[in-house]
Amino acid sequence: MIKVFADLQALSHAAARLFAEEAARAIETKGRFIVLLAGGETPRRTYEALARDPLRDAVSWERVHFFWGDERHVPADDPASNARMARQALLDHVPVPAAQIHTIPYRSSPRESAVAYEEILRAFFSGGPSRFDLVFLGLGENGHTASLFPGTIAVEERERWVTEVFLPGELMQRITLTLPVINRAGLVVFLVSGTSKSRILRETLEDVSPLHCIPARLVRPADGKLRWLVDRDAARLLQQRA
Ligand code: 6PG
């Protein structure tokens, strides 16, 4: 389901309201809300909207567990850190217990970080299958999502829950959750904004190019829901408009 909003501000407020609704539903039925945050720049304003009234007081933060879909292999205080962005925009402003902020550990290698995070995830889900209530994802101009980049073996990974990503030509290496974990989510929401994303959004949603060329097209929750919250600039090339 695709919803088109006038601009990033409207998109972000809708995403924040959706977070609050899903949190209330999960906490009502399960006593906790398990969410996977996206990195990059697009979600920042969604996180900021959650840190402000009225939504700040609408969420039972003490019942929320935060995880990340991917991270750059950098220290926690590095400006490139996805967790740092989420702390500045949201987590430093709401009363979520520190023990419920499950960041991707920065170890001496991306592989060690990935292995450590997988251990954290498997322990959190008590050795059973992972099941995130809500997954936020972004869309890169080359069709990547999380850090599942076209042509990387991370996209093909079907056993490991977390893997390292070495991008040729990029100094910064990454850690990403894999498709099997993302596709076990109850609800996956893509947040896409800006003219620069209009071509890849059309190709992702309407093209017939081979699936593996655009990793975002491989996000298909097995028994969950998939939603696209996009702004008008990103949607300008779409045939079918919501
Ligand atoms: C990251 C993200 C990545 C991001 C897209 C879109 O760590 O960079 O996980 O997948 O969502 O690259 O980034 P923007 O929102 O900045 O356009």
Whether 140 is in the pocket of ligand 1, judged by its Cβ within 6 Å, is yes
Whether 146 is in the pocket of ligand 1, judged by its Cβ within 6 Å, is yes
Q: In ligand 1, which atom is closest to the CA atom of 147?
A: 10
CA of 38 to the centre of ligand 1 (A): 7
Whether 110 is in the pocket of ligand 1, judged by its Cβ within 6 Å, is no
Q: What percent of the chain has pLDDT over 70?
A: 97
Q: In ligand 1, which atom is closest to the CA atom of 174?
A: 7
Note the pLDDT tens digit of each residue in 109-164. Answer: 999 999 999 999 999 999 899 999 999 999 999 999 999 999 999 999 999 999 99
Q: Cβ–Cβ contacts within 10 Å for residue 195, how many?
A: 12
CA of 200 to the centre of ligand 1 (A): 13
Q: In ligand 1, which atom is closest to the CA atom of 38?
A: 9
**For residue 19, pLDDT beyond 80:** yes
CA of 131 to the centre of ligand 1 (A): 22
Q: Which domains can be identified in the chain, with CATH numbers?
A: 2-130+138-231 (3.40.50.1360)
Phi and psi at residue 92, in whole multiples of 5°? Answer: -80, -5
- Tell me the residue ranges of DSSP E strands in 104-234: 134-137, 162-165, 174-177, 187-192, 225-231
Q: In ligand 1, which atom is closest to the CA atom of 191?
A: 15
d(C-alpha 224, C-alpha 220), whole Å:
8
Q: In ligand 1, which atom is closest to the CA atom of 42?
A: 15
d(C-alpha 13, C-alpha 110), whole Å:
34
Note the pLDDT tens digit of each residue in 74-120. Answer: 999 999 999 999 999 999 999 999 999 999 999 999 999 999 999 99
Cβ-proximal residues to 98 (8 Å cutoff; 6+ apart), any chain: none
The residue to mutate among 147, 200, 201, 214, having the most atoms of ligand 1 within 8 angstroms of its beta carbon, is 147
| pTM of the model as a whole | 0.96
Q: In ligand 1, which atom is closest to the CA atom of 145?
A: 10
CA of 197 to the centre of ligand 1 (A): 11
Whether 39 is in the pocket of ligand 1, judged by its Cβ within 6 Å, is yes
Q: Please give the average per-residue pLDDT across 182-192, as a whole number.
A: 98
pLDDT at 240: 61
Q: How far apart are the first and last CA of the chain?
A: 8
Query: Which residues partner with 187 through β-bridges?
Result: 225
CA of 116 to the centre of ligand 1 (A): 22
